[in-house]
Amino acid sequence: MKILVANLGSTSLKWRLFDFSNGAETLLHKGGFERVADYPKAIEDCLAALKDAGAIANESDLAAVGFKTVIAKGVTGCVRIDDRVLAAMEAFNGLAPAHNPPYLTGIRLFVRRVPGVPLVALFETAFYQFAPEPMMRYAVPPAWHDIGVRRWGFHGASHKFIAERSAQLLGRDDVARRAQSLYLDAGKSPVSAPDLRVISCHLGGSSSITGIRNGVAIGTSMGMSPQSGLPQNNRVGDLDAEALPYAVKTLGLTVAEAQRQLTQESGLKGLSGVSNDIRDITTAAEQGNAQARRALDVFVASARHWIGSYFFGMGGADAIVFTAGIGENRAEIRAAICANLDQLGIILDAEKNAATRSQEAVISAADSRVKVMVIPTNEELVVARETKRLLEAR
Ligand code: ADP
């Protein structure tokens, strides 16, 4: 069974083709185009690249195309795309202006180009649909809640990958199975005691931290939009609701300009004044740039804040997992986040931590009660797996 996963940006198309034959999960092909001006041509070129590489003979070899869609009104989980799903995505364009419109455009082009191939959406919000309501609700009037002003959560594919893989690595196949079956049986498949409590830290260009109990998310740092939680590369993260009207009035900005500054001139970029990339910021900090140092410190403090939140929310943790660009590659950030937590049973092995880049590893000390791990994430594989599960369940 060959499943194409298409990642649609406003000016980019990236893809991976997976083959699930004979119980294996094989990445057959990956590629992409940046600065796409002609999207129909980009899709054509993608299909041509798959054929040239011998990965498919023709379009009918594709069992499905899966998309890592973000958010839709009244629809989540992993679903077959039809007009109802597209309309639900369109209804929430305002909540995800950078993501939903390009996905709608791209998906409609795929509908036309490969009409016989099932198209499947795995929403980034899906992983949070079973989180307890108090963790997902803002204290707003009901009318606000009813139009979608609530926590939704994002990075769901990545955190779900961590939920499954961490459970496997921790010897809890029962929990891994529950996480795998989440969207088909609503997380009802049985697990044995004791609870497995994992705190998943996706730290990258954008970052979020999720508490996961027995394979099911209990809450996450990103709220109504991906504009919240930890400081992001150039987006602000959490911000007091009064800050926007105050800055608009005091600095004489339009709301649109204030939003632009909060989404493009803030986060690590705004704080450091150097770059939105941790590599450049770290270099500057090492050369004595105080703003760059502060950007790193704010990022670390925010990560600790959210880890602490889920540590309390779950009554402790069995594992803390680091993933994504920063989590997988930046030992000094991991060390700063885990510093001085021995009272909570969190102790890093400095050498193992320093030696770990982009590979699965336990980086905590032998006497650390909480295991600290690095697990490279694989969001596209999650989309492909869920797409396969959906097709097989039908
Ligand atoms: P995105 O969220 O855009 O996919 P990534 O997960 O790649 O981004 O994370 C980007 C961040 O991770 C940057 O701050 C970058 O410095 C850091 N990063 C990514 N890859 C590496 C690497 N190989 N070595 C060091 N830092 C890295």
Strands 62-67 and 26-33: unpaired
Structure tokens belonging to residue 209: 């931290």
Percent of the chain residues topping a pLDDT of 70: 100
Query: What confidence score (pLDDT) does residue 34 get?
Result: 93
Which residue CA neighbors atom 20 of ligand 1 most closely? 325
- 262 has a pLDDT exceeding 90: yes
Of the candidates 53, 57, 59, 87, the one whose C-alpha atom is nearest the C-alpha of residue 73 is 87
Q: In what order do the strands lie in the sheet with 361-362?
A: 216-220, 208-213, 197-202, 319-323, 371-374, 361-362
CA of 329 to the centre of ligand 1 (A): 7
Query: What confidence score (pLDDT) does residue 95 get?
Result: 84
pLDDT band at 13 (very low <50, low <70, confident <90, very high): very high
Residues 6+ apart with CB under 8 A from 319: 166, 170, 197, 198, 199, 370, 371, 372, 373
- 394 has a pLDDT exceeding 80: no
pLDDT band at 96 (very low <50, low <70, confident <90, very high): confident
Mean pLDDT of the chain: 96
Which residue CA neighbors atom 24 of ligand 1 most closely? 329
Closest ligand 1 atom, residue 204 Cα = 9
CA of 234 to the centre of ligand 1 (A): 13
CA of 232 to the centre of ligand 1 (A): 12
Of the candidates 283, 352, 357, the one whose C-alpha atom is nearest the C-alpha of residue 323 is 357
Segment 214-233 mean pLDDT: 96
Backbone angles phi, psi at 318, to 5 degrees: -90, -30
Segment 317-327 mean pLDDT: 98
Identify which of 161, 234, 277 to mutate to test ligand 1's pocket (most ligand atoms within 8 A of the CB): 277
Segment 318-346 mean pLDDT: 98
Segment 255-265 mean pLDDT: 95
Of the candidates 392, 323, 316, the one whose C-alpha atom is nearest the C-alpha of residue 360 is 323
Of the two residues 393 and 210, the one the predictor is more confident about is 210
Closest ligand 1 atom, residue 233 Cα = 14
CA of 376 to the centre of ligand 1 (A): 12
- 185 has a pLDDT exceeding 90: no
- Determine contact, residues 281/274, Cβ cutoff 8 Å: yes
pTM comes to: 0.96
Query: What confidence score (pLDDT) does residue 267 get?
Result: 97
pLDDT band at 254 (very low <50, low <70, confident <90, very high): very high
pLDDT band at 67 (very low <50, low <70, confident <90, very high): very high
Judge residue 23's burial from the number of C-beta atoms within 10 Å of its C-beta, 0-12 exposed, 13-18 middle, 19 or more buried.
exposed
Closest ligand 1 atom, residue 207 Cα = 2
Identify which of 326, 359, 374 to mutate to test ligand 1's pocket (most ligand atoms within 8 A of the CB): 326
Q: What SS3 class is residue 179? A: helix
CA of 239 to the centre of ligand 1 (A): 24
- 155 has a pLDDT exceeding 90: yes
Percent of the chain residues topping a pLDDT of 90: 94
CA of 33 to the centre of ligand 1 (A): 19
- pLDDT tens string 106-151: 999 999 999 999 999 999 999 999 999 999 999 999 999 999 999 9
Q: Which amino acid is at 118?
A: P
Segment 353-370 mean pLDDT: 98
Q: What SS3 class is residue 375? A: coil
Q: Which amino acid is at 388?
A: K
Distance from C-alpha of 59 to C-alpha of 48, rounded to nearest angstrom = 10
- 188 has a pLDDT exceeding 90: no
Distance from C-alpha of 275 to C-alpha of 284, rounded to nearest angstrom = 9
Distance from C-alpha of 200 to C-alpha of 153, rounded to nearest angstrom = 13
CA of 367 to the centre of ligand 1 (A): 30
Query: What confidence score (pLDDT) does residue 210 get?
Result: 98
Which residue CA neighbors atom 2 of ligand 1 most closely? 205
CA of 249 to the centre of ligand 1 (A): 36
Mind listing the domains of the chain with CATH numbers?
Answer: 2-122 (3.30.420.40), 156-379 (3.30.420.40)
Give the binding-site residues of ligand 1, using a 6 Å CB cut-off.
Answer: 204-206, 277-279, 324-326, 329-330
- 362 has a pLDDT exceeding 90: yes
Q: Which helix (H) or strand (E) element contains residue 19?
A: strand 13-19
Distance from C-alpha of 323 to C-alpha of 387, rounded to nearest angstrom = 23
Segment 191-205 mean pLDDT: 97
